[in-house]
């Protein structure tokens, strides 16, 4: 392990339904403007029925902005948009001379391209080009982006459902702490597809209105899409940069309660273990946490389980908390990366995000989320939760430098 194993965040990049870059996201939060709307880009039978949080750019526009070729998946396009912004923001002039890596997460891969292919192919088996789908697996998204960013030392893909990119962030941090790499771009991306929309609809956990995380009358989640990446750097690299670091990654933990394929355990065992483990790793007490970015999907099961776990860790004194999925929808494999960016921004700008549309406190809880956008807050340590299917639960802790 290197002499100073502190891992800093030097750059941020994000794209979601509320903005195409970091600045647009800050403006959307300030104006309390959510990204959910009717479906416009996805060709689905659910158009006009289910709200989603779509990135407001077509594939064609994303191709022009990223310089990627035509047959790339929307997942890869979104990934490259955010990763390029993060790398530019970090401003590492000797990037090529360092040991660099990309740890990227996604759950849907190139499913959008496969769906297009099979519609044409099934109608006429002489139609549809196989080259458009031969690389639709999750790993191909990472390879495409690593190639474009000029990363050749290390690259890997993580796919652990909704905790995917939170796991990517802490795996990246471990690579730096163990002196394997100097710089890691870590996070994830996911695009909306018919496959995911139909799948979540089958689980009967989609809300037909805009989602209300942590509200007693919540009905389910709204699916979103997007990408979020942080540039993690070693202490040695941080000292060479002509800019202040956003924060450091001080704690992380992944726990799996393996309770059910899609449901969280009722007493939030995995969530509790993840939060406790992250606190232990960071050497912090629950009272040190300034804000919790809740996983907060808006489903009856998730919010109840997560709420129970938060109660177990923090009762009786709760920090401010909210679910930013009330803005972005649930971006699945991207959510941990997107919310890592939000956490770093909250520390830098001393802000706390509101939990939109919250009205009624959940009966079983003695706390409720923040309802307004708050500025000039003492934000020193943020806990960001990402809890996935199969009980795969991850908590990250970001701390002011």
Active site residues: 162, 295, 330
Answer for the pair 261, 390: CB distance below 8 angstroms, yes or no.
yes
H helices present in 43-163, as ranges: 59-66, 74-90, 111-123, 138-149
Q: Which residues are CB-neighbours of 199 under 8 A, at least 6 positions away?
A: none
Phi, psi (degrees; rounded to nearest 5) at 213: -55, 140
Phi, psi (degrees; rounded to nearest 5) at 387: -120, 125
Q: What does the alpha-carbon distance between residue 320 and residue 302 come to, in Å, rounded to a whole number?
A: 19
Answer for the pair 153, 100: CB distance below 8 angstroms, yes or no.
yes
Cβ neighbours of 316 (radius 10 Å): 7
Beta bridge partners of 16: 19
Radius of gyration of the chain measured on its C-alpha atoms: 20
Q: What does the alpha-carbon distance between residue 355 and residue 368 come to, in Å, rounded to a whole number?
A: 9
Q: Return the structure tokens found at 61.
A: 């526009």
Q: What does the alpha-carbon distance between residue 358 and residue 335 come to, in Å, rounded to a whole number?
A: 20
Answer for the pair 306, 395: CB distance below 8 angstroms, yes or no.
no
Q: Return the structure tokens found at 142.
A: 């990472």
Q: Return the structure tokens found at 243.
A: 């800019």
């Amino acid at each position: 392990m290197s002499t100073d194993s502190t891992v800093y965040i030097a750059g941020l990049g994000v794209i979601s339904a509320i903005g195409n870059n970091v600045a647009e996201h800050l403006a959307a939060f300030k104006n309390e403007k959510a990204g959910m709307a009717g479906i416009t880009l996805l060709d689905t039978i659910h158009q006009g029925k289910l709200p989603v949080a779509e990135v407001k750019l077509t594939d064609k526009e994303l191709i022009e902005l990223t310089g990627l070729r035509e047959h790339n998946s929307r997942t890869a396009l979104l990934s490259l948009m955010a990763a390029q912004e993060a790398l530019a923001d970090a401003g590492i002039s000797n990037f090529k001379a360092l040991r660099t890596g990309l740890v990227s997460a996604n759950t849907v891969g190139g499913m959008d391209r496969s769906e297009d292919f099979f519609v044409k192919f099934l109608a006429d088996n002489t139609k549809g080009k196989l080259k458009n789908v031969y690389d639709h697996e999750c790993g191909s998204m990472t390879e495409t982006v690593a190639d474009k960013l000029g990363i050749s030392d290390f690259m890997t893909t993580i796919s652990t459902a909704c905790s995917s990119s939170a796991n990517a962030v802490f795996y990246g941090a471990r690579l730096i702490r163990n002196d394997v790499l100097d710089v890691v771009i870590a996070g994830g991306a996911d695009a909306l597809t018919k496959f995911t929309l139909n799948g979540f609809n089958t689980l009967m956990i989609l809300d037909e209105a805009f989602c209300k995380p942590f509200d007693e009358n919540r009905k389910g989640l709204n699916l979103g899409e997007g990408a979020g990446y942080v540039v993690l750097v070693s202490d040695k690299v941080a000292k060479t940069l002509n800019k202040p670091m956003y924060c450091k990654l001080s704690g992380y933990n992944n726990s799996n309660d393996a309770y059910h394929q899609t449901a969280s355990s009722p007493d939030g065992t995995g969530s509790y273990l993840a939060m406790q483990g992250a606190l232990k790793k960071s050497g912090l007490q629950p009272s040190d946490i300034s804000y919790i970015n809740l996983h907060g999907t808006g489903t009856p099961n998730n919010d109840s389980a997560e709420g129970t776990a938060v109660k177990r860790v923090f009762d009786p004194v709760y920090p401010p908390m909210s679910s930013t999925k009330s803005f972005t929808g649930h971006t699945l494999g991207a959510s941990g990366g997107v919310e890592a960016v939000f956490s770093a921004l909250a520390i830098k700008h001393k802000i706390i995000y509101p939990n939109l549309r919250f009205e009624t406190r959940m009966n079983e809880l003695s706390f409720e989320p923040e309802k307004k956008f708050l500025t000039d807050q003492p934000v020193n340590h943020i806990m960001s939760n990402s809890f996935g299917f199969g009980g795969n639960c991850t908590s990250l802790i970001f701390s002011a430098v």
